[in-house]
């Protein structure tokens, strides 16, 4: 039974331009699913739809999002926030903009425990200290009192990871959590996310455009193009040979330093045209079903 179950999700702009096209995907309890695509493919949009933080201009226009068997769209906004706050957390891409620069780190971790879950301040602080130790931060009591600018990028990302796990969520959405980091720090952070995910048994929806990262962290993946699911499979099958031409081209474009030639192949125009045609045909089919 899936913890997160998205069915036929449509998200559109006010002018009707589709951002997500009947997206269906499942994340089982404790599973790590990667969500892959180029910029503009809608991969972050899925996470935002689940969290209920879509940009103002975008609206859910169809389909359902079920969390632990409960349809989120049927809940009142307040009930929805409660459910999400208690069970789902986000690890954002940019650790600098995600932290308030004018507040100390400690309260930014404990706020959510106090405000949403109704913990006592002292309990929340004890929990935050425990978590900072768990993400291998030295002198956590000192870091709690620090401002974000006093910490390195890797440190800030560790704090956001600690914060995401604070309320023991069942699902974490990680939106390109290592894209802003250099390769050595990326490795440490991925290792930490994997370690925390396994220890806490949390399901993870991992948004990324890097298939190298996908092969290390995920068990399954969903490939998106223009808001439509292009391929959905498990890791072994995908890296043995993706079934869709676009996925194959994406894999071919991923650099491999072990390749002596080192040449890089962009996704060919012919593949782009084919997948665009597929989307156009899909849209035409949708128009038909709406009229019928």
Q: Which of residues 8, 70, 130, 182 is near another protein by CB under 8 A?
A: 182
Stretch in the footprint of another protein (CB under 8 A) among 8-16, 19-27, 209-217, 283-291: 209-217
Nearest to 99 by CA among 112, 89, 108: 108
Of the candidates 91, 196, 213, 230, which one interacts with another protein according to CB under 8 A? 213
Angle made by CA atoms 254, 255, 256, in degrees to the nearest 5: 120
Crossing angle between the packed helical segments 153-165 and 105-115, to the nearest 10 degrees: 20
Q: Considering beta carbons, is residue 125 or 175 the nearer one to another protein?
A: 175
The residue among 8 and 276 lying less far from another protein, judged by its C-beta, is 276
- Burial, 201: exposed, middle or buried (Cβ in 10 Å; 0-12, 13-18, 19+)? exposed
Instruction: Map residue 89 onto helix, strand or coil.
Output: strand
Please report, as residue ranges, which positions from 232 to 291 form the binding site for another protein (by CB under 8 A).
Answer: 235-236, 239, 249-251, 253-267
The least distance separating another protein from the CB of residue 251, rounded to whole angstroms, comes to 6
- Considering only residues 63 to 102 of the shown chain, the ones binding another protein according to CB under 8 A are none
Q: What is the DSSP string of 190-256?
A: HHHHHHHHHHHT-EEEEEES-HHHHHHH-SEEEEEETTEEEEEEEHHHHHH--SSHHHHHHHHHS--
Among 22, 187, 200, 248, binds another protein (CB under 8 A): 187
113 close to 166: Cβ distance less than 8 angstroms: yes
Per CB under 8 A, does 210 bind another protein? yes
Per CB under 8 A, the list member of 53, 70, 139, 212 interacting with another protein is 212
Residues contributing to the site for another protein (CB under 8 A): 38-40, 150, 152-153, 181-187, 190-191, 194, 209-216, 235-236, 239, 249-251, 253-267
């Amino acid at each position: 039974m899936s913890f997160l179950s998205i069915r036929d999700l449509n998200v559109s702009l006010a002018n009707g331009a589709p951002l997500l096209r009947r997206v269906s995907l499942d994340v089982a309890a404790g599973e790590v699913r990667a969500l892959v695509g180029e910029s503009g493919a809608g991969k972050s949009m899925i996470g935002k739809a689940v969290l209920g933080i879509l940009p103002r201009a975008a609206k859910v226009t169809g389909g359902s999002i079920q969390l632990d068997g409960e349809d989120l769209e049927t809940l009142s906004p307040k009930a929805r926030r409660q459910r999400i706050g208690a069970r789902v957390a986000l690890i954002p891409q940019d650790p600098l903009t995600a932290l308030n620069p004018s507040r100390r780190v400690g309260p930014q971790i404990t706020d959510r425990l106090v405000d949403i879950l109704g913990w006592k301040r002292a309990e929340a602080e004890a929990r935050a200290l425990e978590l900072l130790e768990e993400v291998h931060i030295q002198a956590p009591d000192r870091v709690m009192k620090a401002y974000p600018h006093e910490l390195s990028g890797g440190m800030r990302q560790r704090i956001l990871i600690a914060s995401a796990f604070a309320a023991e969520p069942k699902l974490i959405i990680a939106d390109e959590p290592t894209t802003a980091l250099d390769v050595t720090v990326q490795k440490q952070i991925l290792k930490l996310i994997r370690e925390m995910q396994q220890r806490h048994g949390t399901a993870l929806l991992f948004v990324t455009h890097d298939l190298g990262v996908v092969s290390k962290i995920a068990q399954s993946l969903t490939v998106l193009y223009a808001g439509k699911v292009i391929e959905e499979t498990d890791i072994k099958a995908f890296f043995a040979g993706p079934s869709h031409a676009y996925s194959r081209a994406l894999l071919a474009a991923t650099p491999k330093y072990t390749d002596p030639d080192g040449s890089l192949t962009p996704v060919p125009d012919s593949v782009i045209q084919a997948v665009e045609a597929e989307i156009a045909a899909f849209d035409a089919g949708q128009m038909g079903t709406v009229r019928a």
